[in-house]
Amino acid sequence: MLIKVKHYEHFNRSLPNWDTPKGKYISSRKQYEEEMKKGGFVDYDEGCKRAQQNKNNKGEYTGLSSCATSVIKAARLQSDKKGRIKPSGRLLDAMKEVGVKFSVPDWCPKKYREIK
């Protein structure tokens, strides 16, 4: 016959909001479970289940299209040593085809929204 005695009195360093320099003081199982819920922790089985779901739902990144890659390379070739580019008409048309948006957000100052 095996008797297991569980002592829940300990200091836990993984929980947030420490109340002592050693960590969060835990005195009972009930307090431990409450602190785990407050901290957003889950038990091992639930964690494994969530990890498997994330792995299954994760779509593979196939990369950029060849057209988008060529547009980026062309922009890089036209840049100066500080990285600024003065795009030509063809490059602008290719950027629009790839899906680049040229709108300026509303939070920008007015002088930057005016196109010269």
* Domain spans of the chain, in order of start: 10-55, 63-97
Q: Choose the weakest-confidence range: 4-8, 36-40, 64-68, 77-81.
A: 4-8
Mean pLDDT across 36-62: 83
What's the predicted TM-score (pTM) here?
Answer: 0.40
Query: pLDDT value at position 97?
Result: 92
Is residue 11 within 8 Å of 23, Cβ to Cβ? yes
Residue 25, beta-bridge partner list = 11
What one-character DSSP code corresponds to residue 26?
E
The answer to whether residues 113 and 102 touch, using CB atoms and an 8 Å cutoff, is: no
Mean pLDDT across 7-30: 81
**Neighbour-count burial of 71, counting CB atoms closer than 10 A to its CB (0-12 exposed, 13-18 middle, 19+ buried):** buried
At 1 the pLDDT is: 59
- Reply yes or no on whether the pLDDT at 29 is more than 60: yes
pLDDT band, residue 49 (cuts 50/70/90): very high
> Is residue 41 packed enough to be buried (19+ CB in 10 Å), middle (13-18) or exposed (0-12)?
middle
